Amino acid sequence: MDQLHRRFAGDQLAFLPDAYAKGPMGRTEVQTEAAIEKELLREKALVEDPELPISVYNYSALPERLKKQGTAVSLYRVIDRAKEVGSHQ
């Protein structure tokens, strides 16, 4: 697993180890959640950048982008996760 502390803030990291330690999520699910969150934060940075003409999130692109990285995830999971991390309009 990559070094998660390099990609996420401290409060964002708290969820993943707890879920893994308590058992509801296995390593694969934790990695998938981390990949989703990374892409959502990337998308959020684009939307919030005043230099760019982007004003809406493109959730439909995230499952395809993640698929290219080897992670299969549904659009509904991406949207649910976006609500959890505050990257939702």
The helix (run of H) or strand (run of E) holding residue 5 is none
Per-residue pLDDT tens digits for 57-88: 888 899 999 899 888 888 988 988 888 887 77
Length of the chain counted residue by residue: 89
Residue pair 39/65 in contact by the 8 Å Cβ criterion: yes
Q: Which domain holds residue 13?
A: 4-85
Which of 42, 46, 44, 34 minimizes the C-alpha distance to 73? 34
What's the structural domain count of the chain? 1
Q: How far apart are CA 87 and CA 79, in angstroms?
A: 9
Residues 6+ positions from 47 with CB-CB distance below 8 Å: 54, 55, 56, 57
Per-residue pLDDT tens digits for 5-18: 555 566 656 666 66
Report if pTM > 0.85.
no
